[in-house]
Structure 1
Amino acid sequence: MLADNRLTIMPAIIVVAIIAVFSLDPIAQEAAYHNFADQRRILGIANFFNVLSSLPFVIIGIIGMRLVALRRIQGGLSELQPMYLTFFAGVLLTGFGSAYYHLQPGNQTLLWDRLPMTIAFMALFCAIVGEYISIQLARQLFAPLLIGGIASVLYWYVTEINGNGDLRAYVLVQFLPVLLIPLILRLFDSKLDNDKYIWGVVIAYAVSKLMELFDAQLYSIFGLLSGHSLKHLVAAFGALIFYWALQQRRSSK
């Protein structure tokens, strides 16, 4: 499997993406990013619904970690248990990091929002590599990708506080898995059945990013919740889909 020519496609995409992104000028964090459409203070809590909508990450992170820790992952591979556990730990910490950030939006608090998200991204990507391509390859990638993901956020933060903010490495970490996971699903056969769960995770993430993009427009339409709050709910639903996958899928080999 490791000698399969299909594997050459992904390194090629990664190389092209790295060249394309780093051919751009450094990307600083726009100050306007922190100006969310819904800034209502309710019950003394600033940005109430953006904070409250972070709670599902905490809940799903806890039940996911419990599922893996109790070894009830009939819909997963036991060899990938550290990656599953790390994914749900990242989801749990994302809930706390997101709530902390939205209480007082700014670059300093955004650091604690992005770090756990990156951990979850990298762990999920490695788990999918293990399920579809090679458990051995997933194990080899796991620590380097976690370290690389964390480093991308720290690099952005250090450059930001030094006055020359650069998001390029973080952009790669956030969006490359979104490009590569569908490709993996198309090119490789999983050791487990029901690809629909992983497609569901990918779609939920894509929809959540669209909702983030149309934060103010969705707020004007729905009134109660803004696009950013809806982003939290849909992204958390994506994590829940993966939780269901670890319960419902079965070996296809």
Structure 2
Amino acid sequence: MERCSRHRLHHLPLLLSLLLGIATLLHGPIAQLENYHAFADQLTLLGIPHCADVLSNLGFAGVALWGLWRLTPARRTAELAAGWPGYALFLVGLLLTAAGSSWYHLAPDDHRLLWDRLPIALASAGLLAGVWGDCRQRRSAGFAAGLGLAAIFGVLWWYGGALQGGGDLRPYLLLQVLTMLLIPLWQWLYRRPRGERLAFGAALGLYALAKVAELLDHPLAALLPLSGHSLKHLLSVAATAVVVAWLVRRRTAALAADTAPMAPSPTGTHFH
């Protein structure tokens, strides 16, 4: 009875995704906030305009390179093989975010924002696919490819509308919302280790704080040495670092277990 009940719950993520998709369609277009590009950070330092918003993106490159360096050699191990295609997309997305978001913040406008949002969407798609692969213990390559294409479509959907004076953020925002909701739901349903759920929960919490800081860009700039948007970048970097740190720790623990010497069996040695 309990197994049957839990099996039914495994359909919950699909049902939730469908309901959110339908709600998004019924809601109607979500436009970008007015004066979106008018960020609080107006400091020019060493010839770099909006320098805090620009330089605070460098952490994404550091996290991505660290993850690729430590995880790529173990991509075929049992601990990483299923989720690796998704996590690889996540890490590449982070690396591209460092470049794209820095480029955008040098001279913010809708044309440059395209190159900021594309890698962010790809990173979200990759993380979602990686966790799906871990939970289902199925290789995530196809799922990562499908989500990656959906992520690109969502950003191009917004950009195409923006070129005509509008722009609809629904697909882009839906992917981010699903990432926040489905990851903890999958990990609970498939009984992932407690440490893993805590690590991803902390990362998602940091990302939620980052989104709040983004909305409070100007008020936080009046209170803190950093603007809200710069703080958003730093909190997002911390969130991604927590995820990569957990994956590295898991990979290290697996390698240590594989190389640990086996204790001799009490009956394994005979004297004649």
Which is greater in Rg? 2
Shift of 1:102: 0.3
Q: Give the drift of 1:182.
A: 2.1
CA contact (8 A) 2:40 2:218 kept: yes
CA distance in 2, matches of 1:245, 1:76: 12
Deviations along 1:212-249, one digit per CA (max 9) or x if unpaired, are 11111211111x21111011011011111111111213
The structure-2 alpha-carbon separation of the partners of 1:66 and 1:215, relative to structure 1 and needing over 3 Å to count, comes to: same
TM-score, normalised relative to structure 2: 0.84
| Contact 2:40 2:221 (8 Å CA) reproduced | yes
Q: Provide the C-alpha distance between the structure 2 equivalents of 1:134 and 1:78, rounded to a whole number of angstroms.
A: 9
Matched, 1:176 2:151: no
- Distance in 1, matches of 2:84 and 2:186, equals 20
User: Which residue of 17, 21, 32 corresponds with 1:29?
Assistant: 32
In the alignment, what sits opposite 1:144? 146
Match of 1:84 in 2: 87
Q: How does 1:101-250 map to 2 (within 5 A)?
A: 101-136=104-139, 138-190=140-192, 194-222=196-224, 224-249=225-250, 250=253
The runs of at least 4 consecutive aligned structure 1 residues that moved more than 6 Å come to: 72-75
Q: Is the 8 A contact 1:74 1:247 kept in 2?
A: no
Map Cα deviations across residues 171-213 of structure 1 (whole Å, 9 max, x no partner). Answer: 1112111122222233221279532211122111111111111
Partner of 2:99: 96
In 2, the alpha carbon distance for the partners of 1:238 and 1:8 equals 28
Structure 1: runs of 5+ lacking an equivalent: none
Equivalence for 2:260: none
- What is the aligned partner in structure 1 of residue 262 from structure 2? none
Give the whole-Å Cα distance in 1 for the aligned partners of 2:180 and 2:114.
21
Question: TM-score, normalised to structure 1's length?
Answer: 0.90
For residue 45 of structure 1, what is the aligned residue in structure 2? 48
Work out which structure has the larger RCO, using CA pairs closer than 8 Å and 6 or more positions apart in sequence.
1
Consecutive unaligned residues of structure 2, counting only runs of 5 or more, are: 255-272
Letter in structure 1 aligned against 2:234: L
Question: What percent of counterpart residues are identical?
Answer: 35
Q: How many residues align?
A: 249
Q: Give the distance between the partners of 1:235 and 1:75, measured in 2 at CA.
A: 29
Residues of 1 paired with 2:188 and 2:215: CA distance? 27
